[in-house]
Amino acid sequence: MTQLHTVNGDGNRYAQCIAASKRIRWDIEDDVIRGRHFDFNKKFLPDGLSKVGELNFLSEAEKRFISQIQGRTYANMFGLVERFICAKVIEVSHAHFLGDQVALEALVRFSDEELKHQELFRRLEGLAGEQMPAGYQFLPQPNDVAHVVLGKSTWAVLGLTLHIELFTQVHYKESIEPDEDLSELWKDVFLFHWKEESQHAIMDELEWVREDNKLSMTERDQAVNELIDLVVAVDGILQAQAKQDAEYFVANCERVFSSEELNTIRKTMLKAYRWQYIVSGVQVPRFGKVLSSLITAEQGERIGTALASIM
Ligand SMILES: [Fe+2]
Ligand SMILES: [Fe+2]
């Protein structure tokens, strides 16, 4: 194990998170939505995330429709995970109640931002529902998922949370920002979201390491198993939603697909979701660096073996 953090440096980092949070603070209506609607002549999710490039038998309009379905699910997925992230951040802030007031303020702002993000993603679901064909369903329920996730140890939940909040940033900077062909409103949502998520990932890491310092070897070993359980649970959600979204796509295309094409659509949808919500996050160097600083080589191998079936 290598040491990545110092106590003094941490106080500074919480203060920097507060300063950045105050500087970039935005409002859902006045800054992000501004009375706009989605432009359905444009894509939502970029090709690198949606994997539509692997569906060469589809027309450009059909590929665009897939990116819009996946983009709607993408917004809903963030609304989903923010339910448990917000609850966990409020919980870990308890440790600072009568301690570091700078850390407490940073975490209060973090949870407040996640409440705002959930409201933003509910607004987006309403806007998408007004313009897209009926029949779309986002299957997982935020509170059901939160009950399962929050039943695991804090170490496992913070690990999953850091992973999510790092891939959010990578998706925006590497795929969404450079793409000129996305719906302006959809793109702006993830610009504003990214601005606040940058601070969240820093705090996830600080809190994860702080939690890690409290654990015995046995507790950490159990927590590693729970992190694996959580990734497997995420994959279960992805399998169900990929199937649902593939069915919605096919039901709203004005043509019949061969059974081979149907199979490819379903497989590609799941591949895209696994890439978006699991694989791309695991590959963020910062995530690997922090994780490996906390666990043993054997525990790392255990995680690698569990991920192999998904990747
Ligand atoms: Fe968020
Ligand atoms: Fe966040």
pLDDT digits (tens, 9 = 90+) for 260-297: 999 999 999 999 999 999 999 999 999 999 999 999 99
Q: How far does the centroid of ligand 2 lie from the alpha carbon of residue 108, in Å?
A: 12
Indicate whether 168 pLDDT > 60: yes
Q: Residue 59 — pLDDT band, cuts 50, 70, 90?
A: very high
- The amino acid occupying position 307 is L
Indicate whether 1 pLDDT > 60: no
Residue 289's alpha-carbon distances to 37, 60, 124, 182, in angstroms, are 40, 40, 34, 32
Mean pLDDT score, 35-59:
98
Q: How far does the centroid of ligand 1 lie from the alpha carbon of residue 269, in Å?
A: 23
Q: How far does the centroid of ligand 1 lie from the alpha carbon of residue 277, in Å?
A: 14
Give residue 8's pLDDT. Answer: 52
Arithmetic mean of pLDDT over the chain: 96
User: Phi then psi for 43, rounded to 5 degrees?
Assistant: -75, 165
pTM of the model: 0.96
Q: How far does the centroid of ligand 2 lie from the alpha carbon of residue 90, in Å?
A: 13
Q: How far apart are CA 271 and CA 279, in angstroms?
A: 10
pLDDT tens string 93-126: 999 999 999 999 999 999 999 999 999 999 999 9
Give residue 291's pLDDT. Answer: 98
Q: How far does the centroid of ligand 1 lie from the alpha carbon of residue 187, in Å?
A: 15
Mean pLDDT score, 228-233:
98
Give residue 3's pLDDT. Answer: 46
Q: How far does the centroid of ligand 2 lie from the alpha carbon of residue 200, in Å?
A: 5
Q: How far apart are CA 123 and CA 142, in angstroms?
A: 16
Indicate whether 5 pLDDT > 90: no
By the 8 A CB rule, do 237 and 148 touch? no
Q: How far does the centroid of ligand 1 lie from the alpha carbon of residue 117, in Å?
A: 5
Q: How far does the centroid of ligand 1 lie from the alpha carbon of residue 203, in Å?
A: 13
